[in-house]
A and B are shown apart, each in its own frame.
Chain A
């Protein structure tokens, strides 16, 4: 039977709160509708506060109380951090609930002389984290958990002693619904030992299958489902150049070397990435960070190299280059192939791929989409947006009265410089009093001497301006 170790952290949030100066202050953590105390430090205990007390009672007991609300997400995050910390010493870690870690010991004993040495290593690591914990071994995950939660805190792999300790636990320690516990109490089963004394077959006859399953898992006879923790994957490589580079053109080869490593890394895991980060370490200078993005996930080195070279074209070095580093922290799953197998493919890229190339070379700001806005002021009626995101219904679908507007708008309104002939108008636009950009204009369609169609307006002071061109 496999040996398991359970670590129970009763006050994880409280432990992660601590600073040096707060040490003296009584602190409690409350939860639920009644704000009952769930975690408290030694100072609070000394002041007379006990777990389960209401917030009112606690506040009355101690005047200088520091109160925090229980934060499940923060606790879980801390637990993951602990799992990552312990992962250096033990391979199979299961996150159990929000305050426990289940470690499979049997597999790890090949690396250590015995359980004691294994435990000493783990204990040293846990002490470095400054957390309170209870622990126990057990021959089933559930047994280890129960014993740890009962604060057994001894390391022994003797089956009989473990069974003895488990048998001494009261029935109420089991994670069973209240109704079932009462049912067991009523027939005189008060401890786990008494429960184990009943044969499984009899148990199945008298109680429901859930209890049988639970007891089976507790005794290690039935399978207890566990999923082991996997540390998040990060790709980080650094390449020290044999000689200093002054010309960015020569960077292509070393760059490709890193990118090929990335390709292999991603290929093995069947993952793609949407952005990579280069760090160019310069002599006696601040390192240069370059972030290169691609709108669609990509793993191939040559594609990334193409984008990198476009970005490097825009980059200037302040000092010779000594080494380069590549790091990728975010990965994405490969997309389902959505294109039709039989439809004719033309061109070499998808829209997202094209966008990545354009943005790498010209900068993100130089490539934009446009979308209409519902604003009567012409300069606010159209706005730039991230490309490929704007979705619009055309005017005919919305059954709007079509308006005549110029296809090209000047980026800035200019005073009218040339003589023009007014053809049509005026169309008064008088709005915008609510946001400080108030306008009152009479718009005209006009033609200048070279027969160009212009959109001009006259403001309240009878000044004439040019705003657009009916291209």
Chain B
């Protein structure tokens, strides 16, 4: 009788240890601390489905383009062409596009002239970053929005995970446009790009791409789409530096 009890006790002990081990691996994997060989799988085995960005070069560099659903992190300062990068993609969308907390008014007139259907745009101006994240999650989860553009500052890992889950539920894509960020920790996003200005368009650095190797920076040529907004070979025609002081002087004169 006693022997039986002891044997049962032993089994339970071993079992609980195995459980702890499994939990530990789960825990470490969860924290992105375990390196697995499968992560460097060949490009043919994509982790996510892709949609074209509308730029041939970019599609090639990103092995197909933007993820069909998920979170894309774009680090860029405002006004160098970060929205133009997404416009060809937005033009093809059939579902609504939510624009949350834009740094300035979205110009319907400009979108109209670039062939984007403005009727699908939903401009949301929340009062706080928390509300912005809440709105983004709701839009993604609903399935009514195919794409969400969110201007945001620093993000926490758990916030990105929530957005990722919401994007999976609604099968949508969220692009988080961030500028002047301090944090450097890796976020659990599908794709992370860093944009810098360049004469021909944009210098793109792929910081992270799920299931992909690190790659050198490349230049995205936008001169065919927006010839006026690329500083090409020509010298600025009327190079003139005007400061507010000069302007005031002119007024006083």
What is the CA–CA distance of A402 and B87 in the complex, to the nearest angstrom? 15
Q: Are B231's CB and A423's CB within 8 A?
A: yes
Contact A407 B170 (CB under 8 A): no
B6 / chain A contacts, CB cutoff of 8 Å: none
- Say yes or no: A349 contacts B236, CB within 8 Å: no
Q: Within B4-33, which residues are at the interface with A (CB < 8 Å)?
A: none
Given contacts A362-B124, A452-B79, contact A392 B229 (CB under 8 A): no
Q: Name the residue of chain A whose CB is nearest to the CB of B69.
A: A346
> Inside 8 A of A394's CB, which chain B residues have their CB?
112, 115-117
Cβ of B97 to closest chain A Cβ, rounded Å? 11
Which chain B residues in 109-156 approach chain A with CB under 8 Å? 109-119, 121-127, 131, 134-135, 138-139, 141-145
Q: In the assembled complex, how far is the CB of residue B245 from the closest CB belonging to chain A, in whole angstroms?
A: 10
Would you call B105 and A408 a contact (CB within 8 A)? yes
What is the number of contacts between chain A and chain B, taking CB atoms within 8 Å?
225
Is B240 positioned at the interface, with any CB of A under 8 Å from its CB?
yes
Q: Does B2 contact A (CB under 8 A)?
A: no
Note all chain A residues with C-beta closer than 8 A to B144.
347, 349-351, 353-354
Q: Are B78 and A367 in contact (CB under 8 A)?
A: no
Bound CA–CA A346/B95 (angstroms)? 12
Cβ contact within 8 Å between A409 and B105: yes
Task: Please measure, in the bound complex, the distance between the C-alpha atom of A454 and the C-alpha atom of B197, giving whole angstroms.
Answer: 13
Cβ-closest chain B residue relative to A352: B144
A316 contacts the other chain (Cβ, under 8 Å)?
A: no
Contact residues in A for B117 (Cβ distance below 8 Å): 392, 394
- Chain B residues with CB below 8 A from A197, complex form: none
Q: Which residue of A lies closest to B232 (CB)?
A: A423
State whether the Cβ of B54 lies closer than 8 Å to any Cβ in chain A: no
B108, A452: Cβ atoms under 8 Å?
A: no
Given A349-B142, A370-B108, A390-B119: A471 touches B242 (CB 8 Å cut-off): no
Query: Which one of B78, B123, B124, B169 contacts A469 once the chains associate, using CB atoms below 8 Å?
Result: B78
**Contact A463–B236 (Cβ < 8 Å):** no
Contact, CB under 8 Å: B107 / A468? yes
Q: Does A383 contact B (CB under 8 A)?
A: yes
For residue A266, CB closer than 8 A to chain B, the reply is: no
B77 close to chain A: CB less than 8 A: yes
Q: Mark A358-390, 1 if CB is under 8 A from B, else 0.
A: 100110001111111100001001111001101
User: Contact: A369 with B122, CB < 8 Å?
Assistant: yes
B247 interface hit (Cβ, 8 Å): yes
**CB-CB contacts below 8 Å: B83-113 with A:** 83-84, 87, 96, 102-113
A161 at the interface (CB under 8 A from B): no
In the complex, chain A residues whose CB is within 8 Å of the CB of B105: 382, 408-411
Contacts of B251 in A (CB 8 A): 461-463
B115, B138, B238: the one contacting A354 at CB < 8 Å is B138
The answer to whether B231 touches A454, judged by C-beta atoms less than 8 angstroms apart, is no
A468 CB contacts on chain B under 8 angstroms: 104, 107
Pick from A40-48, A185-193, A248-256, A443-451 the stretch touching chain B: A443-451
Q: How near does chain B come to A380, taking the closest CB pair, in angstroms?
A: 9
Residues of B within 8 A of A353 (CB): 142, 144
Given contacts A395-B113, A409-B104, contact A421 B239 (CB under 8 A): yes
Q: Which residues of B contact A445 (CB under 8 A)?
A: 228-229
Q: Which B residue sits closest to A411, measured CB to CB?
A: B105
Number of interface residues of A (CB under 8 A): 71
Contact B228 A424 (CB under 8 A): yes
Q: Are B96 and A407 in contact (CB under 8 A)?
A: no
Query: Secondary structure of the B side of the interface?
Result: mixed
A458 to B240, CA, bound (A): 13
CB contacts (< 8 Å) of A366 on chain B: these are: 124-127
Question: A387 vs B240: C-alpha distance in the bound complex, in angstroms?
Answer: 42
Chain B residue, CB-CB nearest to A402: B113
Contact check: which of B82, B104, B145, B236 meets A421 at CB < 8 Å? B236
- Is the beta-carbon distance between B104 and A419 smaller than 8 angstroms? no
- Provide the residues of chain B in CB contact with A404, threshold 8 Å: 113, 226, 228-229
User: Is A422 a contact of B124 with CB atoms below 8 Å?
Assistant: no
**Chain B positions within 8 Å of A462 at CB level:** 247, 250-251
Q: Chain B residues near A391: list those with CB within 8 A.
A: 119
Decide: A408 and B103 in contact? CB cutoff 8 A. Answer: yes
Q: How far is the CA of A121 from the CA of B226 in the complex (A)?
A: 83
Known: A392-B119, A419-B241, A468-B107. A407 touches B83 (CB 8 A): yes
- Which residues on A sit within 8 Å (CB–CB) of B115? 394-396
Smallest CB separation, B153 vs chain A (Å): 17
- Chain B residue numbers with a CB within 8 Å of A396 are 115
Q: Can you add 12 more A-B contacts, CB < 8 Å, to A381-B107, A423-B237?
A: A357-B142, A361-B134, A369-B119, A369-B121, A370-B121, A395-B113, A405-B109, A407-B83, A409-B107, A420-B242, A422-B238, A462-B250
Q: Which 10 A-B pairs have the closest CB atoms?
A: A347-B143, A451-B197, A452-B79, A405-B110, A349-B142, A382-B108, A381-B109, A471-B83, A370-B108, A347-B170
A interface vs B, CB < 8 Å? 345-351, 353-355, 357-358, 361-362, 366-373, 378, 381-384, 387-388, 390-392, 394-396, 400, 402-411, 415-424, 445, 447, 450-454, 461-464, 468-471
Which residues of B are interface residues toward A (Cβ below 8 A)? 77-84, 87, 96, 102-119, 121-127, 131, 134-135, 138-139, 141-145, 169-172, 197, 226, 228-229, 231, 236-244, 247, 250-251
19 interchain pairs (CB within 8 A)?
Answer: A347-B141, A347-B172, A349-B144, A354-B142, A362-B127, A367-B123, A371-B108, A372-B118, A378-B107, A387-B122, A395-B114, A408-B103, A408-B106, A417-B244, A421-B240, A421-B241, A452-B80, A463-B250, A471-B80
